[in-house]
Amino acid sequence: MSHSFVVHVPAAELEPEPLAPEQIVSGTPEVTGKVVWESADGKQIRGVWQITPGVVTDTESDELFVVISGSATVAVEGGPTLEVGPGDMAVLRAGDRTTWTVHETLRKAYAINL
């Protein structure tokens, strides 16, 4: 997009983003998302992401996100354990290895820098 815009995050229509089987620790979590803006060089991405309850692992990018709904515990290997819920803003560092325990379907708006 080349113009300013607004996205109503709670109602944004999302597309399936299947997890790699090795990321799933327990449960049957499903991920959906939508990229709403990407820089011309592909190094900055803004979007909406959602995950249903379960436990998954990930290796993070440099990310800032705000939780819109739901809750999760995000354990950062060798670092803090983050409890996130509606209205919380969190920052993850590139290379952080995380374990997400999603208690109720979590939806977030994010900004990633690659």
pTM value? 0.95
- CB contact at 8 A, 72 and 31: no
pLDDT at 25: 98
Digit-coded pLDDT (tens) for 35-72? 999 999 999 999 999 999 999 999 999 999 999 999 99
**Could you give the C-alpha distances from 113 to 15, 22, 93, 102, 110, in angstroms and in order?**
21, 25, 10, 24, 10
Q: For residue 88, how far is the Cα from the chain centroid?
A: 13
Asked if the model's pLDDT at residue 3 lies above 90, the reply is: no
Asked if the model's pLDDT at residue 75 lies above 90, the reply is: yes
- CB contact at 8 A, 88 and 80: no
Asked if the model's pLDDT at residue 83 lies above 80, the reply is: yes
What are the φ/ψ torsions at residue 47 (nearest 5 degrees)? Answer: -170, -170
